Structure 1
Amino acid sequence: MTVNILFAASGDSWAAYREPLTRALAEAGIDARLAPEMAPDEVDYIVYSPNDGPDDFGPFTRAKAVLSLWAGVERIVGNSTLTQPLVRMVDEEGLTRGMTEWVTGHVLRHHLGMDAHIVNPDRVWNHAPPPLAQDRTVAVLGLGALGAACATALARIGFDVRGWSNSPKDLPDITCRHGAEGLGPTLDGAEIVVLLLPGTPATENVIDAAALDRMAPGACLLNPGRGTLIDDDALLAALDDGRAGHATLDVFRTEPLPADHPYWAHPRVTVTPHVAAETRPATAARVIAENVRRGEAGEPLLHLVDRAAGY
């Protein structure tokens, strides 16, 4: 029996995904009709991109699941027309590895003080070696697939890693806390803080003035998670008066980041253009094909979104 799969994303994405997704579906033993346009009442699965996919899921009366190409689902999870199961993208070979490399690289940059050596126009010979990783406290907020992978990688290097999440987690060599009562102790005295929480009403402005005050003086903040996690005004104030040492930011409330935004010109801010982790067609296609296979076999779908939690 042929499975009808609507690829509801941009034309550029269709060009990138068509071949690897066709191949992955065939390797999974699925007889698939894959197309960027299809009558709604014929669709069995929707491969979805929040920037380009449908807003009204009501006409897709036959669809068994919506398979997002993105890890974040905040743009779709509250859609009242979405009654089908929603699956987010968790791709250990692509997204997770990319995020781990970005986080590890920027944590090491701040830990080692690389900026002072890369840009040193006055040729200052400052023989001040950094501490060892074991003497540096790193806090990772968010211990889902991405956060757990990043926290684990940092712990393997030797950092003193603390982790915080909404629900209890147990990760080797990481001090894990959870819930509202666990956030403050996780931040207390942290020298580098990495934000990998989902974007939900509960996590908006989790880094506010009070949170910044709990970190070590001159702490560095890395945000490859969601732009809504930070109170931008509070962060800029902390950077201006030296309470925060640097912020490396990959995600923002408005993207692309407007040219007149204060982050661009601030000497203690590094802007990266939402490149920390990217869905890669070759590996993401295999994740999508496995979920279609599971759906057709009556097996539980992987990475099913909890609508109430928002992720």
Structure 2
Amino acid sequence: MARETIVFSSAVDPIAPWREGLEAALPDVALRAPPELSADDDVRYALVWKPPEGFFAAYPKLRLITILGVGADALAGRTDLPDVPIARLSDPAMAQMMASYILFAVLRYARDIDVFEAAQRDRRWHYVHPREARLTRVGVLGLGELGGVAATELARLGFDISGWSRSPKTLPGVRTTSGIDALDAFLAETDILVVMLPLTGQTHHLLDARRLALLPAGAKLINASRGAVVDEPAMIQALVSGQLGGATLDVFEREPLPTDHPLWTLPNVLITPHLASVALPASAAAQIAANIRRLRSGEPVRHRVDLTRGY
């Protein structure tokens, strides 16, 4: 007897915890990777992260695609997408995980840990007098579900926090501004810039050489959203010249970062392998199951993305 099945595709997420979470939430649905599928599987749903080209064409009965993450840019421009709803994850646990990464990166610069790391490599006792958090201006570029939580957590620690977004937002403890006309002034008053924007046609290389030069000399950059929001060659030039005093980078225009990439050897760069926030089966499975139930009952799915906008 045919059973409704979710087909799973991800090169980075293990299937076992997703199977455990989803099959517990939906006992009448199976989760299978493509090699596991049989004639008994009626594939109606897909749970994916950067599936291979042509992936969706094999499943003509699909009714819902769920992205294993927040960003939808990996599916934009594909020719094999069926005309079905595409949903992203909206998981508070993911937002908290991202906030912890941003807090780590901001505190590392605000407390001069990068300076002490360099001194340790040289076996130098190098004292830098600590500064109050309120004297460090942190700007969060992008105040969506992830960026908004990060900005609020930073404000709670007493940093001087400003935030920029495409449309107006209000957050406790955060000075907010919006619209492209306000971006230059926002950058000029930011000592530590946190990039939390989705990748869209409008945000691709938004931080180009001109805008990076607007930051105060020696400013720090943290990018945990998408690599292509920043013009990588322009960023490297700014890091070499000292216009940027340092960068913490979790995302890149090409991933994995090639072994011969110049970013590997810059002493003022910290590289992490795109793990600032990941989808968590234990908490996100309930959202996926709820959307499948909504679809079955004829209700619109939640957290639907618009690929023409990129989110």
Q: Report what 1:14 is aligned to.
A: 15
Cα separation, 1, equivalents of 2:40 and 2:230: 39
Q: Is the 8 A contact 1:6 1:47 kept in 2?
A: yes
Q: Report what 2:109 is aligned to.
A: 110
Find the residue that maps to 2:14 and give its secondary structure.
Answer: helix
TM-score (norm: length of structure 1): 0.90
Q: Report what 1:86 is aligned to.
A: 86
Q: Report what 2:278 is aligned to.
A: 278
Find the residue that maps to 1:155 and give its secondary structure.
Answer: helix
The equivalences for 1:9-48 within 5 A come to 9-10=9-10, 13-26=14-27, 31-36=28-33, 37=37, 42-48=42-48
Find the residue that maps to 2:282 and give its secondary structure.
Answer: helix
The answer on 1:226 being equivalent to 2:226 is yes
Cα separation, 2, equivalents of 1:117 and 1:59: 54
Cα separation, 1, equivalents of 2:161 and 2:74: 31
Cα 1:41–1:55 change in 2 (3 A) is farther
Cα 1:198–1:248 change in 2 (3 A) is same
Cα separation, 1, equivalents of 2:215 and 2:40: 51
Find the residue that maps to 1:146 and give its secondary structure.
Answer: helix
Cα separation, 1, equivalents of 2:31 and 2:106: 41
Q: Report what 1:141 is aligned to.
A: 141
Q: Report what 1:130 is aligned to.
A: 130
Deviations 1:74-98 (A, max 9, x none): 12133244211110122211x2121
Cα separation, 2, equivalents of 1:40 and 1:209: 55
RMSD: 2.3
Deviations 1:140-161 (A, max 9, x none): 1111111111111111111111
Cα separation, 1, equivalents of 2:38 and 2:142: 38
Partner letter of residue 23 of structure 1?
A
Cα 1:138–1:39 change in 2 (3 A) is farther
Partner letter of residue 14 of structure 2?
S
Q: Is the 8 A contact 1:6 1:38 kept in 2?
A: no
- Between the two proteins, the alignment pairs up a number of residues equal to 304
Cα separation, 2, equivalents of 1:61 and 1:125: 64
Q: Report what 1:217 is aligned to.
A: 217
Q: Report what 1:67 is aligned to.
A: 66
Cα separation, 2, equivalents of 1:13 and 1:254: 22
Shift of 1:111: 0.5
Shift of 1:35: 2.9
Shift of 1:5: 2.8
Cα separation, 2, equivalents of 1:242 and 1:303: 41
Cα 1:38–1:153 change in 2 (3 A) is farther
The equivalences for 1:185-200 within 5 A come to 185-200=185-200
The answer on 1:293 being equivalent to 2:293 is yes
Q: Report what 1:241 is aligned to.
A: 241
Partner letter of residue 276 of structure 1?
A
TM-score (norm: length of structure 2): 0.90
